Chains A and B, each alone.
Chain A
Amino acid sequence: MNTRSNRRRIAALGIALAAVVPLAACAGGNAGSGSTEAGGAGGTDPDKFTVMTANENPVLSDELDALAAGACKAENKALPIEHQKVAQADVVQKVTLLASQGALATHTIAGTALIRPDGDLGKAGLVGDLKAALEDAGTWDNVLPAAASTVEQVYGGMFSMPYQYNIEGIFYNKQIFADNGLEEPQTWDDLVADAAKLQKAGVTPMTEAGANGWPLTRILGMYIYRNVGPDAMVAIQKGDAKLTDPEYLAGAQALADFAEAGYFGEGFSTRDGDTSSNMFLTGEAAMTYDGTWLLSAINDPDRNQIGGENVGFMPFPSVDGGKGSIDQYPANAGAPMIVNAEQFGPKVQDWISCIAENYGQQALQDAGVISGFKVNGDVTDISENTAEIQQRIEGIDETVLWFEALFDPKSNSLASTNVTLLTTGQMSPEDYMKDLQASLDANK
């Protein structure tokens, strides 16, 4: 009898322990209560300059290696570069885990929402202030003001190195436009009329990678920026306006109508990025709304069968009676690349300064990538398309963000997933905007 009751006691204790231990362990993991201060160059140098980049962007690690062997040789000798890789889709998960274990790379890719001052990394004080560090090193003037402004708008501070500086707009096939007697449309109504003409001529008017969602929401967002003005999405973020307001709803309606008319071509909702680019670069589609990262494909003769001379670039057209201007280009500075504030010591500061001074020229010369850094030195043999975009960027006075830039991660995802329903007629523009606004309200 005694043995049995003892056994029961042990079993009960075991069950209680099994339940309590994990709970206690969970409660102990309170790692993120740090200060919100993001100190520039206030950390301690690590042994190595570890850089974590996305698998999908080999150019960045290649160019940093090139700098390590060239212009930043001294910095690399003092603090050797070491690469880590992560799949773009796993960034939030991996960075969160590494940061909680104190194992975050010195210079790392991160999620947009994570690095904002109210994001998990920002709150934990792990995001270095690059402006302070570069000003301290006297190299801040190597960051283009437009790129700095974009970074500050998206992340709430200068927290990311602008390894890319992309503007977005509509790439078009000059030959197809000429054959159909078309000129660059200046208003949305002109664009729709041109699309109708192209469709009649048997050409897909505009190709987009509907499977990715965001290329479609970009169009919706740009319509809103042109209609409401450059502060359209800031007003949503602040709660001064709602996505269900008529002037915002008009954007969803315009996109839905454009898709319903068949101007994106057959099968657009499951079309992936490469297929979409290929449709444009093989002359099957007359236009594509995309970012200037498309230049790498345009400059690749194996992919570009219509020839660089036939590729034109125009801004998203204005909307009749709208408050936005055709000259306000949407801009972004690539995936966020932060410096771990805990490791932002003098040697890391030297590395970052060297990158700021030399990356612009290195990336443009070597990979044709337009970055947010000043190009110090001569660059030879860049394509006409790249030169034209670079010239256009220099002439831009005001930029806007993209539709989801200021959204929380859940609403961001919802915008992209539901846009397929919107553009295939399975969801009304009212419902699309209503659901999105509800998500924004719920995740404030």
Chain B
Amino acid sequence: MNSIFGDRKTIFILLAPALLLYTLLKIVPVAWSFGLSFFEGNTLRGFEWVGFQNFATFFTDGAALQSMWVSIFFAIVATVGQVALGYGLALLYVFVLRKGSSFVRTIVFFPAILPTVAVALLFKSFVAVGQNQGPVNDIINFFGGDSVEVLASTVGTMTTAIVMTLWGSMGFYAVLLYAGLLDIPEEVIESARLDGANGLKLVRHIIVPLSLPILLSSIIFSLNSTLKVFDSLLALNGGGPGTSTAPLTLYMYRTAFEYAEYGYGSTIALVLTMLCLVFTLAIFRSSRRKAEV
């Protein structure tokens, strides 16, 4: 076996098909899109070299900058929420519910398998007002308040979007972090308890440091998926009211496919990729610094 894996030719032959497929499906489109960001036009009109003009346009384009802040805001708030709730649930599974947690785990995980568009439509009907009023306004009316048009405001739409995202994903992060917590040796926890560490002290000084790698992975995973949020915000309120909750992905889609500006659309995609990279590196760096300390 060693002789097989020691042979470079064999390694190449074994890797080549997967590498080729990966290159064709991932690397080429990414490089293609990167190339397009230096051009203006579309497949019908033709492409014209504009150098860095698309990038200059991006940083003076009010709609693009607004969309970028929407993406960043959504990513940070949703990540903090879903990882914190997920971690809390994971602690609940391990230390409170213990072996009886499987039923609760399944129930809380269930929304993660639902299509995001269906979840968005569900929440849209929850907060609906008027002819098909939803339960949220029914409750408000029951306590004597006037119906609130939640999706007519930016704050209302964003709050609904974040609650919806947390409901849909906290079960997933709970399971991910639960798996990490299970890896902490029972003896370590026991000895910490014997040393007098209980409750919050135990979590802060023993559980969190030992589950830090999986916690960081969850944060990176969450940031990258929430920065690329698209379907849920589109289905909830079309990025509205106005364009106040339109993330960068939606602006990219509209630019490339509705306005047929493929070059500028690719530039927006590149900025989004850079954002994901910057956030991921920032988390990595902060974790390394912590490890060094």
Contacts and interface: CB of A to CB of B under 8 A. Distances in A.
B242 interface: yes
A421 B43 contact: no
B131 A27 contact: no
Nearest to B237: A270
Interface residues on A, range: 35 or more
Contact of A417 (B49, B151, B239): B239
A137 B149 CA distance: 57
B130 A268 contact: yes
Given A266-B147, A424-B153, A31 B46 contact: yes
Interface of A is mostly: helix
Given A25-B32, A424-B153, A270 B46 contact: no
A123 B129 contact: no
A267 B149 contact: yes
A149 B132 CA distance: 42
A121 B130 CA distance: 43
Contact of A413 (B27, B124, B254): B254
A305 to B, nearest CB: 14
Contacts of B147: 266-267
Contact of A30 (B47, B154, B240, B241): B47
Interface in B232-283: 237-244, 254, 257-260
Interface stretch (B33-41, B178-186, B187-195, B205-213): B33-41
B217 interface: no
Interface string B32-74: 1111101101111111010000000000000000000000000
Given A265-B130, A417-B243, A270 B45 contact: no
B47 A269 contact: no
Contact of B238 (A21, A96, A211, A278): A211
B128 interface: yes
A345 B258 CA distance: 31
A279 B44 contact: no
A421 to B, nearest CB: 4
A99 B257 CA distance: 14
B152 interface: yes
B45 A418 contact: no
B152 A120 contact: no
A19 B124 CA distance: 44
Contacts of A427: 242
B114 interface: no
A268 B132 CA distance: 12
B116 to A, nearest CB: 18
A96 B35 contact: no
Interface core residue of B35, B38, B124, B130 (most chain A CB under 10 Å): B130
Contact of A279 (B131, B151, B243): B131
Interface string B18-39: 0000000001100111111011
Given A26-B36, A29-B46, A266-B149, A275 B131 contact: yes
Interface string A56-88: 000000000000000000000000000000000
A31 B260 CA distance: 14
Contact of B242 (A96, A101, A120, A421): A421
Nearest to A20: B35
Select the residue from B31, B151, B260 with max chain A CB neighbours within 10 A.
Answer: B260
A421 B242 CA distance: 6
B258 A97 contact: no
A92 B45 CA distance: 13
Interface string B110-143: 0000000000000010001111110000000000
A322 interface: no
A92 B260 contact: yes
Contact of A31 (B44, B49, B131, B153): B44
B259 A123 contact: no
Contacts of B33: 22
B152 A424 contact: yes
Contacts of B239: 417
B226 to A, nearest CB: 23
B43 A96 contact: yes
A392 interface: no
Interface of B: 27-28, 31-36, 38-39, 41-47, 49, 124, 128-133, 147, 149, 151-154, 237-244, 254, 257-260
Given A31-B43, A32-B46, A275-B132, 8 more contacts: A22-B31, A26-B36, A29-B46, A93-B258, A120-B42, A267-B131, A268-B130, A284-B131
12 contacts: A23-B35, A26-B35, A29-B46, A32-B41, A92-B258, A100-B44, A268-B130, A417-B242, A417-B243, A420-B242, A421-B241, A424-B241
Which 8 A-B residue pairs are closest in the complex by CB-CB distance?
A267-B130, A22-B35, A30-B46, A100-B43, A267-B129, A32-B45, A22-B32, A421-B242
